Amino acid sequence: QVQLRESGGGSVQAGGSLRLSCTASGDAYDKNCMAWFRQASGQEREGVPIASIDRDGSPNYSDFVKGRFTISADDAKNTLYLQMDSLKPDATATYFCATARFWFCRGTSSVDFPSWGQGTQVTVSS
């Protein structure tokens, strides 16, 4: 199983940027699909990834983050990133990274991912 650890969260004013990182140890085939999920305070973790990256590096985005966030990973997929720009208060949440073996992330949900990090908090003030 993959060991995941997120970092880079913090507090920022609206319009600002943050870059989340997720270090991922473990076998490469367990990291074919890598994704970011979010959980707002008082709510359950969202079932659909806000961003994910396929085995071939192709990114996928939810409508919530499209055009504002950028997902990327290093070649070995040892580190996953989420560049968060033009942040709005509605981005305030805990962000989790997750990995799975399937090659394509599109259409996946949280129940499909066996490996999870502990999360990193992002707070955006107006």
Torsion of CA 117, 120, 121, 122, to 10 degrees: -120
For residue 118, the one-letter residue type is: Q
Between β-strands 120-125 and 10-13, what pairing exists: parallel, antiparallel or unpaired? parallel
pLDDT value for 76: 87
CA 92, CA 124: separation in Å to the nearest integer?
A: 5
Beta bridge mates, 122 = 10, 93
DSSP 5: E
Res 77 pLDDT > 90: no
- For the segment 9-65, what is each residue's pLDDT rounded down to a tens digit? 999 999 999 999 999 999 988 999 999 999 999 999 999 999 999 999 999 999 989
Between β-strands 59-61 and 120-125, what pairing exists: parallel, antiparallel or unpaired? unpaired
